[in-house]
Amino acid sequence: MRQRCGFNIWYGVLSMCVVWLTLDHVAWAQVPDETYDFSIAKGIIEFGRGHYEQAAGFFERAREAMPNDPEATEYLGQALLRLKKYREAEALFHDLTISQPTRAQSWLGLAISQSQLGEYHEALASLEKAQTLDPQNPLVYFYQGVVSRELKAFNQSPALFSRAMALSPDLTPTVRYYTGMSYYERGLLDQAQKEFEAAIASGEPESELARSARAILQQRAQAPKGAKQWDLSLSISGQYDTNVVLLPTGIQPPGGTTGISKKDDFVTTFYARGEYRPIQTSVWTAGVTYGLYQSFHQKLATFDVQDHAPSVFVQRQIGMVTARLQYAFDYVRVGQDPFMLAHAVQPIVTIAESDSHFTQIQLRYQDKSFQDDLFAGNSLRNGKNWLGGVTQYAYFAHGTGHVRLGYTFDTDRTGGGNPSVAMPGVQTNADWAYTAHRLSAGLGMPEFLTLRPSLAFDYYLMDYENPNSFSADGTTKRRDNVMFFTATMGRPLNDWLMIAAEYNYTRDQSNISAFNYARSIFSLTLSSRF
């Protein structure tokens, strides 16, 4: 259940001016009807009575009597908002912000008009201006919270509503209701219930907001207990690959040149992932996941990849820290043959420093067993992988955009830490042991004209620790500089369906020529989430 922002709050403040501006009826009669003072005073009285059409008429007369007066325009804009003439109100407030750029209330009125017209990003910009001019105005923070909800930035809204309530305790019932709505829409039903109950207790029992809060609480009482316990995502992608490279488990192709086709191809990929959480409380979450990936090449069928990835996890919430421990299994097939089996244990810690900043720390131990069915000597890559990384996320534009920076260290130990001696032209487990450093950056931009652009860049420096048999003399240690670039432009089709165009570029610069390659992938993807 979604409620439009309660304009009675703003207008309640306005109507308080009636007491100050009330004049003796006899005195009014002595003033000409067309004067500015009479029209303003009479308009405010009619506004307070809820006669918004009449009020708008008086405010128009006041503007005619004094065309350059901002007060008459301000009052007229408020009346138009009450009459739901949002486009006309927007035009008035916009003109006011140009002629009177330091009037905070004009920026606020403009923001309210824009939000009612669905211009949420524009409304946020106007609210930021109003906040700069009048940082102690509670209504600015209230409407920032309302607009953040409309933009699905539910994690931003509670703090904004709390700020509004701290500045104006009179807003408590309304703020508690909208805070409850923010929690409700995030699936945090226990927190939502507390806020709805507080909204009812702190306001008028028969107000519109109180009735709405009781209706939501009744719905919850009648519904099955707990938040949604499952998620499902599906996608299908059509791709054009300029240089098909087999990378089913990471960034290094098996078999040297046999894993780098140097041929282009059209590819269709499918991906599905489901998660079920039988235990889900405000503190503990436990569940299982399953992911399936399948690619089909038009010409190079031996490069088709099928990946089955089930996992189990348990998660604990401790204040602003989320700790997760999961076990993952990977079974990969290439062509029609088994390629790899892997087991991994992965702890992940996420620290929310604020509503707009959080840090994620992850570790992983993985045991990999490669099969020789398609690539002779592939089992030489059997070994253990250790990985550790930290990523910082910063959100902006009220949660609609983000910046990501990260560093990861990983090392692959093949041959049980005792690699055999390399020989020119003869692969050994010494060829695959490496230590690597990875830097990553990403930018997700706010929605623009219904489009959601994003960029990502990764740089991978891999130092192989032993002489490599692919080198000319069998004595050179391999070093790879790998760069990844991704640009995506997505567009939501509805609440559960999205289409995206993507470009991926990979460049591996290796001192072992067999592993040198460049690659571009152009993709069009249709994805859904339930």
CATH number at residue 501: 2.40.170.20
Q: Structural domain tally of the chain?
A: 2
Tell me: do 355 and 471 sit in the same domain: yes
Amino acid present at 294: Q
Task: Please indicate, yes or no, if residue 122 is contained in any of the structural domains.
Answer: yes
- Residue 204 CB coordination number (10 Å): 11
472-507 pLDDT per residue, tens: 777 888 899 999 999 999 998 987 899 999 999 999
The parent domain of residue 405 ranges over 318-529
Whether residue 292 is contained in a domain is answered as no
Give the residue carrying structure tokens 């005195």: 27
Same domain for 351 and 212?
no
Average pLDDT, the chain: 83
Distance CA 113, CA 80 (A): 10
Residue 120's domain is classified under what CATH number? 1.25.40.10
User: Torsions phi, psi of 422, nearest 5?
Assistant: -70, 145
For residue 428, the tally of other CB atoms under 10 A from its CB is 20
Of 193, 222, 251, which one is at a domain's C-terminal end? Answer: 222
CA dihedral 213, 219, 221, 225 (to 10 degrees): -120
Which residue carries 């008009």 as its tokens? 113
In a domain, 165, yes or no: yes
**Rounded to the nearest 5°, which phi and psi values hold at 115?**
-65, -40
**Whats the size of the chain, residue-wise?**
530
Chain-centroid distance of CA 186 in Å reads 13
- The reply to whether the predicted model has a pTM over 0.85 is no
DSSP β-bridge partners for residue 311:
289, 328
Is residue 259 included in any domain, yes or no? no
Answer yes or no: is 272 within a domain: no
Same domain, 380 and 501: yes
Alpha carbon of residue 118 to chain centroid:
19
The type of residue at 195 is: E
Residue after which a domain boundary falls, among 222, 253, 275: 222
What are the tokens at 227? 């938040």
Strand partners, 506: 484, 519
Flag residues of the chain having pLDDT under 50: 1-33, 224
What are the structure tokens assigned to 513, written together? 């020529």
Does a structural domain hold residue 303? no
Query: Is residue 353 within 8 Å of 360, Cβ to Cβ?
Result: no
* Among candidate residues 257, 512, 515, the one with its CA nearest the CA of residue 375: 257
Which tokens go with 281? Answer: 């409380």
Q: What is the largest CA-CA distance in the chain?
A: 111
CB neighbours of 228 closer than 8 A, spacing ≥ 6?
187
pLDDT at 42: 83
Q: Within 10 Å of residue 145's Cβ, how many Cβ atoms?
A: 29
* Vertex 512 angle, CA 507 and 514, to 5°: 75
The continuous run of DSSP H or E covering 396 comes out as strand 383-396
């989430």: which residue's tokens?
A: 529
Does 207 share its domain with 342?
no
Same structural domain for residues 217 and 325?
Answer: no
* Dist CA 16 CA 19 (whole Å): 6
Residue 276 within any structural domain of the chain: no
The two three-digit tokens of residue 120, written as one number: 């949420």
CB atoms within 10 A of CB 473: 8
The tokens describing 356, both together, are 């707009």
- Tens digit of pLDDT for each residue in 167-207? 888 888 888 888 888 777 777 777 888 888 888 887 776 67
The DSSP letter of residue 206 is T
Looking at the DSSP bridge assignments, the partners of residue 32 are: none
DSSP-assigned letter for residue 422: P
Point out the domain boundary residue: 222, 242, 267.
222
Residue 324, token pair as written in the block: 């997760």
Indicate if 199 and 343 belong to the same structural domain.
Answer: no
- Euclidean distance between CA atoms 51 and 33, whole angstroms: 18
Give me the pLDDT at residue 266, please: 97
Q: Which two tokens stand for residue 100?
A: 């009177």
Rg value, the chain, Cα: 31
In this structure, is residue 261 part of a structural domain?
Answer: no
CA 332 to CA 339: how far, in whole Å? 5
Same domain, 338 and 466: yes
User: How many Å apart are CA 14 and CA 7, to the nearest integer?
Assistant: 11
* 355/35 Cα distance (integer angstroms): 52
The answer on 467 and 347 residing in a single domain is: yes
| Contact call for residues 162 and 175 (beta carbons, < 8 A) | yes
**Are 209 and 333 contained in the same domain?**
no
The amino acid sitting at 18 is V
- Please say whether the beta carbons of 199 and 178 come within 8 A: no
* CA dist list (Å): 203 to 173, 216, 228, 336: 5, 16, 31, 67
